[in-house]
Structure formats: C-alpha cells, structure tokens
Structure 1
C-alpha cells in the first residue's frame, strides 16, 4: 500500500542531500516529520534510530516485527524500540516495501557473499562506525550499532525460509515519511554497495527532509 504525503518540501525546516557511500546523523524532535527521498531509485538506505534522551534505547527489529505482525515496513507501521515503545510512525510511503531483516553490509559479509578481494570495499557498518566516532556528542559507541532498517530495499523471504536480495521496487523520487513519537537520533548509511545488483551496481544520493511539529 502506498500513501502520499500532503507536506511540501519547500516548507521544511531542514533539507540535505546525502551522497552515496556517506552517512547522515541528526536529531528529529518529538512530533516532527522526517522524510527520506530515494532521488534516483533503488538505493538502499541503512538506518538506525535511538532515543535521543537515552541512546541505550534503540530501534528493535524483533519488537517491530512482533507488534506489527509483518516483516515488511510501510505506511501505518510503528517502529518499536527494544523497550517496546514507539520511536516513530510511518505516515506516508510511496515505495510500498522496506526491509527489516537483511541487515547492514560489512567488509566481512562482502567477503562471504561475493569474494575475498571485496573485503577492502567500503560498507555500511564502516559508515556507522565512522559516524559514531566523529560525533561522540550523541553518546553513541560501537556497542550501539544494532540491527538496522533497509529503506527501499527488497528482501523477500523464499518459501524455504531463506532471504533473497532481489531487484528493488523503488524509483526516482519515491519516499518514506515518519513522525517521531519521541526525540530520536537518526543515523543513516547511504549504502555504498557495488556488488549487489539490486541498485544496478550504482549507489546514488538520497535526500533527508524534516518538518517542524504541527502547532
């Protein structure tokens, strides 16, 4: 199911284009609306969420899946923390499917999935680690890199229970939008993956947009 947003990006309080292979970190305040735009289509956007007032509380894939009774995310999904509290609610989505099982690429997984010589290639886990190292004022560390969401990524479960990294279902300009249910730290790795055909071996930029809370 896709749901359009009535919000105008021209009225946003913040807009930022994030190049492929880089990270973005920031705080979205309670009641604010946060949008991720897939500018060129089929770009995987690995994302972590934390309670900005207590970063030990973070997004939980297992709690979100259990409470929603769905392994895919879309409009109407509530993203739950590891304390089973709502972090954000997805209010608009023009893509229709987002992955919560596939995890983040790493140098180790690149080696296992592709080839030994791929180990030195940049990966999302590297971006996460760089972000927390360069932004210690958020109170995050390597220990806080938990299971992430892959926005715009298509990872179906096969009949025999395996995960399949399939071609993307997104397209240029598709977006996912959510309202913060508490003050939230958002940490994005705009995936640099060059080995997976889901993005046609061509990582592309995204845009982050934030609107102030309705008065």
Structure 2
C-alpha cells in the first residue's frame, strides 16, 4: 500500500475513467502519483516542455542513455534536448513499456468491434491515438507532434528472436508509479488498453491521479545518480532554471 499524501502538500486529486483522456501541466518541483484502481490498467503517456513544446519526450535517448528498454524507479525521461523532463521516484509495478506504441482506430475496431458515439454514447470504443490528438489540439499541437510514447503499468518484453510478449495483468489493483517533474511539463494521457493486450473485450481501466509539491532533487538524489549519464542530464536541466 502507498503512504497517504500529506494534505498540506497535496495540490489536486482526480480519477481518470477507463477509456478517458486528459492533459495538464505539471510544474518543476511537483510530483504525480498514478494508481491502478482495479488492476490491469494501461496509461499511454506523452510529455512536452510547456514553454517550448518542440522539446518533448525522446524514447531513443531515454533508453540508450540509461541502457534500458523499460522504466522503473531510478530512471528518468529525457527530452530531445538532453534534459530531464521527469524522474521515476517510486514504483510498485517494476516495469513500464516504452517500445510498443499506442492503439489506433483501426486496431480497436478490429479487436473490439465498432462502437462509436452515435451507437454507444459515452461507452464508445476509444483509441489512444485519436484521444491524444484531441488533447494535443487543445495546446496547438497535432499529428506531427505524436512521438513514441510510454505505456505506464504495462510490460512488454522481447525474446531472443525479437518477438514481443505482452504480460497480461502485469499491474495489480493498488499498484502505483510516481513521477517527479524536473521541468514544466505538459502531460497528455489516454487510459486505453495496450495495443498488444490480447483481451478481446473492451474494458479499459480507471486510474487515480494525485499531484503534490515535492521540491527539487539534491546532489544525493537516486535518479540523478542512478546512471552516470543522468548526472549530465540533470546539469543540463538545471542550467535552464538558473
């Protein structure tokens, strides 16, 4: 179980329903706890520097700089300018997918059948790509701004032949991940099912979001020192805010 957040530091708390999408700004020195309410959640996520949105999460740099293919506690999310957008400061899941992309309309209709708004109203079948485009449009962004995303709460591994394997029910009810923001970051989320999820039933899961004031990291910070490259990444980031 996670420790309850102090009411003094808590900024806001919201539940993101399964299938829903949302976007918001997290300021430098704040953190976000995301909790899987029912188990089996997936949260497709994109991150942009709020002041200059051409700078955004860069999957290749994040992975190669930290010698990893997934994210968990200690790892950071790099921008394409070599700065740290956010750090993973807490995680009960242990593995978050960085390589599988997001669902689109054709995939969702093929897997779950057609259920548009005219047919199903708010129970319509949503997909991550269209959800992202709706949210990005609110900030003056569009198709060209969609980059490889993070799928929080999902695990996808590769075998020796390169085949990808999705771990069903990887995240359990109550599992969480905590992100500390090192820059002012536009966060774009879609609580839709993972594109490799073999479940043929459309059952996206809700998530609890809690934001709080956490302050900026010191020289002994775990994420700063987790990889040698991260020391440089934090230095580059802090130059921007001096």
Correspondence for 1:207: 208
Cα contact 2:112–2:201 (8 A) shared by 1:
no
Correspondence for 1:123: 127
- Give CA deviations for 1:147-167 in whole Å, capped at 9, x if unaligned: 110001111112201212221
Partner secondary structure for residue 197 of structure 1: coil
Closer, same or farther in 2 for the Cα pair 1:66/1:7, shift >3 Å? farther
Deviation at 1:117, TM superposition (A): 5.4
Alpha-carbon separation, structure 2, partners of 1:116 and 1:190:
16
Deviation at 1:144, TM superposition (A): 0.9
Alpha-carbon separation, structure 2, partners of 1:193 and 1:23:
14
Q: Using structure 2 for the length normalisation, give the TM-score.
A: 0.77
Cα contact 1:9–1:209 (8 A) shared by 2:
no
Alpha-carbon separation, structure 2, partners of 1:49 and 1:198:
28
Q: Say whether 1:65 aligns with 2:66.
A: no
Which runs of structure 2 are paired with 1:154-193 in the superposition (5 Å)? 154-192=155-193
Deviation at 1:196, TM superposition (A): 2.8
Correspondence for 2:198: 197
Alpha-carbon separation, structure 1, partners of 2:179 and 2:133:
25
User: Higher Cα Rg: structure 1 or 2?
Assistant: 2
Partner secondary structure for residue 164 of structure 1: strand
- Give CA deviations for 1:87-140 in whole Å, capped at 9, x if unaligned: 1010000111100001101123447xx56956975311011011123x2xx332
Count of matched residue positions in the alignment of Structure 1 and Structure 2: 207
Closer, same or farther in 2 for the Cα pair 1:151/1:115, shift >3 Å? closer
Closer, same or farther in 2 for the Cα pair 1:146/1:119, shift >3 Å? farther
Cα contact 2:20–2:190 (8 A) shared by 1:
yes
Which runs of structure 2 are paired with 1:7-156 in the superposition (5 Å)? 8=5, 10=7, 11-110=9-108, 114=110, 121-133=125-137, 135=138, 138-156=139-157
RMSD: 2.6
Cα contact 1:95–1:176 (8 A) shared by 2:
yes
Deviation at 1:214, TM superposition (A): 3.2
> What stretches of structure 2 of length at least 5 have no aligned partner?
117-124, 217-242
Correspondence for 2:237: none
Partner secondary structure for residue 164 of structure 2: coil
Closer, same or farther in 2 for the Cα pair 1:12/1:198, shift >3 Å? farther
Cα contact 2:96–2:154 (8 A) shared by 1:
yes
Closer, same or farther in 2 for the Cα pair 1:118/1:200, shift >3 Å? closer
Alpha-carbon separation, structure 1, partners of 2:193 and 2:70:
22
> What stretches of structure 1 of length at least 5 have no aligned partner?
none
